[in-house]
Structure formats: structure tokens, C-alpha cells
A and B are shown apart, each in its own frame.
Chain A
Amino acid sequence: MNLVRIKEKAIHFFFFTTGISAVIILLGIFLMLLIRGVQTFKDVPFFDFLLGIAWNPSAYGEPSYGILSMVVSTVMVTLGAIIIAVPLGIGTAGYIAEIASPKKRETLKPVIEILAGIPSVVMGFIGIVLVGPVIAKIFGLTSGLNALNGSILLAVMSLPTIISVSEDAIRAVPKDYNEASYALGASRWTTLIRVTLPACLSGIVASVMLGIGRAIGETMTVLMVTGNTPAMPHSFFDSVKTMTATIAIELGEVPYGTTHYYALFAVGAILFLTSFGVNLVAELVTVKHRRGRA
């Protein structure tokens, strides 16, 4: 009897450890970023770091560590991606959930899942050889390596997330709602726009937040297609250098233990907090959504 109990406890302990390991890893990563990042501020005043426009750690003269330009760049590229991806994603989700015949649905869904599996470096490649020249031609620019290019590719990359989460949300709307709407003489379109989508709004908001989370942390694609200019961007046709690209480019050659090294960790910490915040909002909205229905 005792042996069984010990066994029971051991198994319990084992699953408990695996269960909380994710939490421990998360905390560990955050602490590491924070502890190293904070050391930046021994040399760089906090507000100069946060609000400085110039990021030039390998300057000819005095290095500068201002992250505002790259924060604006990241926000711009992400926002552009969401503006493109949201109508497209929700439209697709609506089509798959409500309109498409089962056969079409069964073809579309796996195709969208494959879209999620395209490696980011391949997307970057497409951006350089295809999207870039097309943008340059349409808008009469000399080069298509700009924020818009990054936004378009990130939109494509965040589409699968937005579509699958929105579709689940739309499907979860009780059939009674639609039937009541039809009974009142509403068309399919009116029903989808006026009844179904409002009913699952929080689910759709969650899908958008997850899409943002996907876009904000993407590195390889933006590094390849946005041109990486450290200047403050003024429009979507300017080249930009995002936070992720800065870390990826510079961490390879930075000597350990220097201000530059710590500053990259500080950038990482801010990136982490941003994407953590976005995911947290998505989670809260989803929970609320579930509770609202229950």
C-alpha cells in the first residue's frame, strides 16, 4: 500500500515539474534579459535609451544608443501587416466557416496550414526577388526594400494564425443566431456581417492580437526585405530597421560584456515585454469570450 502511495507521489511530482517547467523557462529568459539589459543603464541614461533617435553603437566617433527609431520601425511594419492581414484573414475565415461547401473547406484549410509552414527565410527571398521589384514599379520608387515590403510579407505570415483562430470563433457562434437572422429575412451577407461577426468579436480580437504577436517577433524576413536603415522612418516607402533585425545583425560580432552587448539585451527585454503584453491581451480577451458564452 505504501509503495503504491510513493509511486503515486512520484508520478504526481513528475507531472508537476513538467507542468511548471514552461513557467520556469519563461521566468529564466526574462530574468536573463533583464539582468543583462539593466547594465546598459550604467553607461546610457534610461531616457536617452528609450527616447533617443540615433542607434549607432559602432560609430566613428561617440556611439549612441537610442531605440526610438527601431521601435517606431517595428510598430510601423507590424501595424501595416495587421492592416493588410485583418480584412483578408477575417474574410477568409468567414468564407470557410459560413459559405464554403464542405469540399472547398476541406481543400482550403490544409492549404492555409501549409502557408504557416513556409520558412521565414523563403518569405524573405520572395520579398527580395518578387515583392520588392513589384512595389518599386507600382509606386515609382527606386528600391522596393522598405517597410511596406516587410508589412506585406508579415501579413502573409500572420494570415494562418488569424484565419484559424477567427474561423474557430465564427464556428462557435450558436446556429440559433443565424437561423433567427434568416427567419427575419436577412441575407447571408447581412447575417455574417451583422449577426455572426459581432457575436464572436472577442474571438476575432484575440486572433488579431495573436497575429500581431506573430508579426512583432519575426526576424529573418524583415531583416532581408526592409533595407535596414537606422534612420527614423517617415513613410511606408522608407527603409526601416526593426528591433529584431538589429539584435540579429549585431549580436554576432559584439564583444561580450560591453555596453553594446548589454544594450542589445535591453532591446530584447523590451521586445519580450511588448510581445508578452500582446499575448496577454489576446489571452484575456479569449478567456472573457469563453466565459461570456458559458
Chain B
Amino acid sequence: MKVRFVIAGITCILALVFITGCAKNEADRVSIQIKGSDTEVNLVQRLAEAFMGKNQEMSIAVTGGGSGVGIAALINRQTDIANSSRAMKDEEIKQAEDKGVDPVAIVFALDGLALITHQNLPIDSLTLGEVAEVFKGEIANWREIGGPDLAVSLYGRQSNSGTYVYFRDNVLKGDYSPQARRMNGSAQIVEAVKTDKAGVGYVGIGYVVDDKGEVISGIKVLNIAKEANLPAVTPLKKENVRSGLYPLTRPLYQYTDGKPKGKLLEFIQFELSQEGQELVTMEGYYPVTAEYMDYNRRLGIIK
């Protein structure tokens, strides 16, 4: 009988050691949750992989869902970083503050939001005003702006998308045409426009170029002019976007609850480092301008 007790005791002790041992290992692993923008998801995934490659103890999970979803998750304390392709709205900041969350915005890349059409559509440039009229449904046929006699087929995102909100507030300054299709993600817009000879859509620049920086086949990236008397420029050239000459230049944000600390800060510093910014370029987006770097510096994120 006694032997049994001894065996049982040893088993218990071993189990205890084993469990605590595991727990200790788990505690050493630092995990970061990142959620939000579909525009940013591939880019941040790539940055996270590079960072995890250097820091074996890190585990970073990047998921999409749209900027609105990321911001909602930050407010509900379900994520460490909210990716967002738009600035937080005042009411969202207020909601966050009501829940004791203090959102801090970091700009880690620039996007030249691209307007894409089917490759065979004989339209190369539009003014920002024309783009707005097209997406508001006021221009319903390509013929009206010098194209073929085809009904315009609009592809946009759903309301949880930061790009949807950015485009509405900065380009349309009004409501989308009810005929605009609401797609799940940027990749789906690209696929749809590829097969639709009257299609036009908007996606982050990272979605229109491949690994070599070439525009993927089947689509065309439109040149956009801010006003009729200004030149129409392409978002495919770095200088057009970084100088702000391309009118749909926008910062890509990451929001954290309070100033980031510890490993979270290290990850963000990595994103803003030269290596991180090179990865940003490789994904098709553009490095942060000096202006935004200064902004990040004033936050105390980088030196």
C-alpha cells in the first residue's frame, strides 16, 4: 500500500514540475495580436515574419477584417495593435476613452490608393472630380468621359473597411452609388476588375504590384489629377506619392492602447527601421516621409 502512495506522490510531483515548466516556457513567449485593415494585412504579416525570424521568442498573429474591425477590437481590448488605413473617427476616440483605452496612432507606411480598371479600358487618366462622379453614380457610362459605350461597373469595399471610409470622406464627399458592389477584400476587387471589361475599383497600391514592383497582368492603374489643370500622375512612382502630388496619398496607421512598451515597442521600432521600411517598399507601399517620421519621433516611439 505504501509503495502505491509513494508512486502516486512522485507522479504528482513530476506532473507539477512538468506543468509549471511548460507554463514558464509559455510565459517567456511574447505574443502580439494585430488586427484590422485589409489593405495592411499582407504588409504587416511580412513585417511580423521578419521580426519573428530575429526574435524567436516572439509570436505575432496578424489578422484582417477591415480597419473598422481592428479599431472595434482595440476599443474592446481584444487586440494589441489595430491596423487602420484611416484615422480614427472622433466618436471612436470618445468610445475608446470611455472604456479607458488611450489610442495612440503610429504612421508606419504610405499608400497611394490606386484606381484600377480592366486592362483594355481605353481610359488612362481621370481627375479626382471625375472619380468622385463615377463612384457616386453620376457618371454611369464610360462614354460620358471619353470611353466606350459601356455601363460603369463599380467595385468598392464594405463599410467595415478603412479604405471605404477614406475614399468616401476624401474623394466622394458624399454617398456611394447604391449600384456599387461591396466586395469582401482588396484582392477580390482586383480579381473582379480583371474579368470585368467595364470595371473600376480602388485598392491599396500593394495589391496592384507583384514582387518585382510590376503591375499585375489584367488590370490598369489610372493616373489621377487633383484638379483639371494639374497633371495626372501615377501612384506607381514613389516620388508622386511621397511628395503628395498623387492626390490619394494617405498614411497607413497602427493604433495601440497608450504608448507602446516592451516587445510591442520593439516591433514598431523595427517597422520604422531602415530594414522595416525596405520591406514596406517590397510589398508595394512607400516608406514614411520625413514629416511623418518626425511625428512618430515626437510621440517618443523612435529616437
Contacts and interface: CB of A to CB of B under 8 A. Distances in A.
B181 A145 contact: yes
Interface stretch (B8-16, B63-71, B123-131, B284-292): B63-71
B238 interface: no
Contact of A133 (B153, B158, B195): B195
Contacts of B182: 227-230, 241, 249
B178 A223 contact: no
Given A249-B160, A252-B66, A143 B195 contact: yes
Interface in A54-69: 54, 56-61, 69
A58 B160 CA distance: 9
Interface in B65-88: 65-66, 68-69, 71-72
Contacts of A229: 178-182
Interface in B166-204: 168-169, 172-175, 177-184, 188, 191-192, 195-199
Nearest to B158: A249
B299 interface: no
B151 A142 contact: yes
Contact of A231 (B66, B160, B168, B179): B179
Interface string A145-170: 10000000000000000000000000
Contact of B159 (A69, A223, A249): A249
The SS class assigned to the A binding surface is: loop
Interface in A39-60: 54, 56-60
A136 interface: yes
B150 interface: yes
B95 interface: yes
A292 interface: no
A250 interface: yes
Nearest to B65: A252
A225 B172 CA distance: 26
Interface in B264-295: none
A76 B192 CA distance: 23
Given A228-B181, A231-B179, A249-B182, A58 B196 contact: no
Interface in A208-252: 223-224, 227-232, 239, 241, 249-250, 252
Interface in A76-110: none
Given A228-B181, A230-B178, A250-B159, A142 B198 contact: yes
Contacts of B183: 228
Contact of A224 (B160, B172, B184): B184
B197 A250 contact: no
Contacts, number: 82
A58 B68 CA distance: 12
A60 B158 contact: no
Contact of B178 (A54, A58, A128, A142): A54
A117 interface: no
B169 to A, nearest CB: 7
Given A59-B175, A145-B192, A228-B182, A252 B160 contact: yes
B119 to A, nearest CB: 14
Contacts of B195: 132-133, 136, 143
A56 B175 contact: yes
Nearest to A228: B182
A239 B154 CA distance: 11
A29 B29 CA distance: 41
Given A136-B195, A143-B153, A60 B173 contact: yes
A145 B173 CA distance: 27
Contacts of B175: 56, 59-61
A176 interface: no
A143 B69 contact: no
Q: What 4 A-B pairs have minimum CB-CB distances, sorted nearest first?
A: A253-B68, A231-B178, A253-B160, A228-B182
Interface of B: 65-66, 68-69, 71-72, 91, 95, 150-151, 153, 158-160, 165, 168-169, 172-175, 177-184, 188, 191-192, 195-199
29 contacts: A54-B178, A56-B178, A58-B159, A58-B165, A60-B172, A128-B191, A136-B195, A142-B151, A142-B153, A142-B196, A143-B153, A143-B199, A145-B181, A145-B192, A227-B181, A228-B158, A228-B181, A228-B182, A229-B179, A230-B178, A239-B179, A250-B158, A250-B159, A252-B68, A252-B69, A252-B72, A253-B71, A255-B91, A255-B95
